[in-house]
Structure 1
Amino acid sequence: MNEKKVDVLLVGSGVMSTTLAALLSELDSSLNIMMLERLPDAAAESTDAWNNAGTGHAGYCELNYTPMDDAGNVVTSRALAINASFEVSLQLWSSLVEKNVLPSPKNFINAVPHLSFVWGEADIDFLRKRHAALSTHHLFQDLEYSDDQARLREWMPLIMQHREDGQPVAATRVSYGSDVNFGALTRSLLASLQARDNFTLKLNTEVSALKQTGNGRWQVKLTNINDGATSTVDAGFIFLGAGGGALELLQKSKIPESYGYAGFPVSGQWLVCKDPDVIRQHHSKVYGKAALGAPPMSVPHLDLRIINGEPALLFGPYAGFTTKFLKQGSYLDLFKSIRANNLKPLLGVAWHNFDLTRYLVGEALQSHASRMDTLRKFYPQAVDSSWHLQNAGKRVQIIKKCEYKSGKLEFGTEIVNSADGSIAALLGASPGASVSVQAMINVIERCFKSQLASPEWQQKLKALVPSYGESLIDDAGLLKKVRARTLQVLQLSSD
């Protein structure tokens, strides 16, 4: 059995692992890094362009990021945090474009306006309050509001054509929203990493066992899926960025911090337009409000996507219940994740979220006609034959301990790491890929504390992300400076 020694072992070849690899390589080019992927291709699960919305989640259009409190006020804290985090992603991508680590921005990111669209007096009142609450903050100062029919026809002609006369509608818009091909971004980063002598990508390889040794390092057993050959790796640090597969690997690590975590898998599907004449009429991402009882990932939106240089039009996602943790996973994934230490949280979530489970099952059993009826609330003239159903990726939401309800279901992302910082995992879903840079900086802050304390690492990280160590939420001048740069470098501004 062959054994290889590495400084960093990354499990999963998606945007999270690859972003961490890129950051660490820039901070210390001498690090020996190995990345593992169980599939024959890199970035083929949640990171693949067709398996996610491609929305550069900045909080501009996602209404679920700004809930109402009991007093009827719009709560903006999450939208501000997500917007600031996405700005961090834009800064790193800009730096890597300038360093020729990434190719021309058009290969992975394009300017696509972000709109929120509602109808009915109650939702229009909410959108008006949301605009008032957000637009006074410098992060959202370019958020426009309109309920003028003529203006809305300019913003979203496909949605407004043949709409009922007199129907009250309203929208908000940010012109420099983006569509991101996270698959193309990740594969471009991987191409640059593979040009380095001390980076290795092993495809068709999965982790069959891992344990921490007496010296704090990890011994990891690998299995080649094609021929069953095994090998071992001695790793100083492990990152579990395997999407839905991260939970099982975290459980195998047996670190105390993993106890109590479980997963709630949700599937997704898109309606994809086949009519090029229709596609040419829509130039934005338009988000609505989620149906009552729907999870955040099923917020309906009609999206222009730019995938491999070609425009595409998608509507959805339609959520559904699944027991798979990965799109190319097993229906036994959910059951294999059950442990004595997470059974109580699982049962608690099942008991308190029965309506959600019933909703997801109902979504999965919808007919094509039913899905088209939902689309027609956005685009009244949609023709059944012009749209086909396509499966998106799986998302495993976080279940964790909660004293009040035994278990708590969360729809965000969370980093779980050992006390000694030798292993970390990323669990959860949205906003996911859009905040990958901030998430991976957080991993570095937790797991590479001594290195990050050095002036060399501080200077390098500050060069890659100029706002590092400062607050874009609090500092309007800093935001203005970094945003002007990223819009220009990534070609997202119309100026």
Structure 2
Amino acid sequence: MGRVSETVDVVLIGGGVMSATLGTLLREVQPDWKIVAFERLGDVAQESSNAWNNAGTGHAALCELNYMPKSGDAPLDPAKAVGINEQFQQSRQLWSTLVERGVLDAPETFINATPHMTFVRGEKDVAYLKERYEVLKRQPLFEGIEYSEDSRVINQWAPLLMQKRLKSDEPFAATRVPAGTDVDFGALTRQLFDNLVEGGATLHVNHEVRSLKKQKDGTWLVRYRNVNGRTPNEVRARFVFVGAGGWALKLLQNSGIPEIKGYGVFPIGGQFLKTTNPAVVAQHKAKVYSQASVGAPPMSVPHLDTRVVDGEASLLFGPFATFSPKFLKKGSMLDIVSQVRTHNLWPMLRVAFANPDLITYLVGELMKNHRKKVESLRTFVPTAKDEDWELINAGQRAQVMKKDPEKGGVLQFGTEVVASADGSIAGLLGASPGASTAASIMLGLLQRCFPEKYADWEPALRELIPTAGGTLNDDPSAADSSMSATAATLGIAR
């Protein structure tokens, strides 16, 4: 007789914030379910969720201009920005509830109040930023947004930006939202997994999932091996979530589900300039975003960020794009080639033909040395000194490429859940705003993959996330109440 595999309720592939969030929600609604998680590296939160592999921005569209692009003479539409903010509020609610329950440690171990700013130069961008401010200040979720073209005011908000600019004739403007945050998603992920394990879940680190095969009884045969020694093993699962970053595509392709056809990913790496010089760090407490360079993807919008990791403050500037064929920092050099299938080759070629500016941008970025990168920094910090800043490598992002009925293929910025028709397997593709909106994304996944159970789960989910299934922005009183409550619990600005 052949080996009979153990059958579990849920397998989580990947030790990032998405798997940790989904596991946390499932533990709440189905405490009797057996959950097993696999991470191919030696610990969780080592790829995109790691604090130094991202900028830690609690993406709430407070400062990111790409969520409200200008299109000709049309008025600015706040819908996408509001939607992103709604999603982030659900993450805030979840974290707040978990802090109150003692699941998460003291809030300052993973989240800190950090104003979110936007800084632009030139008449065109100043006019755009002012229009954006006028639209957003009427939205309840953006209450408290401030705008200024006064160098003295902006100097109070972020002194590093204004050095050598106070007497400049160049037009510039800034917005500021005190309620912004800096989030250490690595610490958050580790705390969530610690709680899952304490609650009975099994976590296998140094274990790599190799294949996924649907069985006749509807379960999934998950074959994996120990990275140390390559000992093979397997487990059956009633539900599989693939939260493996760039490798999610490879595993979903391996599963054979038709829903993954037409998808590909384009890997973009990143680097940041970092300083821990106390004299420099003390002059800046904010995350300041600006406009992207021509041809640059939205994830490469330049920003100067306060970071608080393990209680230590530093500043990051970037990102500077790099290129690697790997889908993960610790991936394979063959990743970009091994994803190619007959069904996704044409969409990927169409993306390449339609985005020459992106290729030009990447080539330009790759040619920058440390001195050139500090010169880019000086557009933000005119007095920046080369010796104060070191270059660090950030995470790999796998941007979604997919079929498009009109264009043949498009490069998509954001995150997308791909699930089988029967809901027995799902995976997450894409990048930013990702981690910041994990709670909302996982609520949507539960509703999509467990439609017959979701109605019964909803009361418990609303205890964790009060606005699950609802919105805040259309109810100013509810928005104020929710944001005030989570701010108080998390120790951040209202």
TM range (shorter): over 0.9
RMSD: 1.1
Which of these residues, 178, 186, 194, is aligned with residue 191 of structure 1?
A: 194
Deviations 1:440-485 (A, max 9, x none): 111100111122122xx22111111111222223222221111111
State whether structure 2 residue 61 is matched by structure 1 residue 59. yes
- What CA distance in whole angstroms lies between the structure 1 residues aligned with 2:28 and 2:363? 45
List runs of 5+ in structure 2 lacking aligned partners.
none
Report what 1:490 is aligned to: 490
Match runs of 1:227-242 below 5 Å: 227-242=229-244
- What CA distance in whole angstroms lies between the structure 2 residues aligned with 1:254 and 1:32? 25
- What CA distance in whole angstroms lies between the structure 2 residues aligned with 1:183 and 1:371? 27
How many residues in Structure 1 have an aligned counterpart in Structure 2? 491
SS in 2 for 1:115: strand
Report what 1:477 is aligned to: 477
Report what 1:125 is aligned to: 127
Which of these residues, 154, 171, 185, is aligned with residue 182 of structure 1?
A: 185
- What CA distance in whole angstroms lies between the structure 2 residues aligned with 1:120 and 1:289? 11
Match runs of 1:252-401 below 5 Å: 252-401=254-403
State whether structure 2 residue 226 is matched by structure 1 residue 224. yes
Q: After the TM superposition, which of the residue ranges 68-77 and 428-437 deviates more from structure 2?
A: 68-77
Report the AA paired with residue 491 of structure 1.
G
TM-score, normalising length from structure 1? 0.97
Deviations 1:288-320 (A, max 9, x none): 111111100110000010000000110000112
Deviations 1:183-238 (A, max 9, x none): 000001111111122x0000111111111111111011111111111111110000
Which of these residues, 142, 146, 149, is aligned with residue 147 of structure 1?
A: 149
Query: Is the 1:2–1:231 contact (alpha carbons within 8 Å) kept by the matching residues of 2?
Result: no
Percent identity among equivalent residues? 49
Q: After the TM superposition, which of the residue ranges 270-279 and 127-136 deviates more from structure 2?
A: 270-279
Query: Is the 2:443–2:468 contact (alpha carbons within 8 Å) kept by the matching residues of 1?
Result: no
Report the AA paired with residue 77 of structure 2.
V
Report what 1:168 is aligned to: 171
- What CA distance in whole angstroms lies between the structure 2 residues aligned with 1:175 and 1:188? 27
Report what 1:159 is aligned to: 161
Deviations 1:360-388 (A, max 9, x none): 12212211121111100100000011111
Shift of 1:72: 4.0
Shift of 1:164: 5.5
Match runs of 1:35-114 below 5 Å: 35-114=37-116
- What CA distance in whole angstroms lies between the structure 2 residues aligned with 1:323 and 1:114? 33
SS in 2 for 1:341: helix
SS in 2 for 1:243: coil
Query: Is the 2:276–2:313 contact (alpha carbons within 8 Å) kept by the matching residues of 1?
Result: no
SS in 2 for 1:283: coil
Shift of 1:145: 0.5
TM-score, normalising length from structure 2? 0.98
Query: Is the 2:18–2:438 contact (alpha carbons within 8 Å) kept by the matching residues of 1?
Result: yes
List runs of 5+ in structure 1 lacking aligned partners.
none
Shift of 1:115: 0.3
Report what 1:245 is aligned to: 247
Report the AA paired with residue 462 of structure 2.
K
Report what 1:12 is aligned to: 14
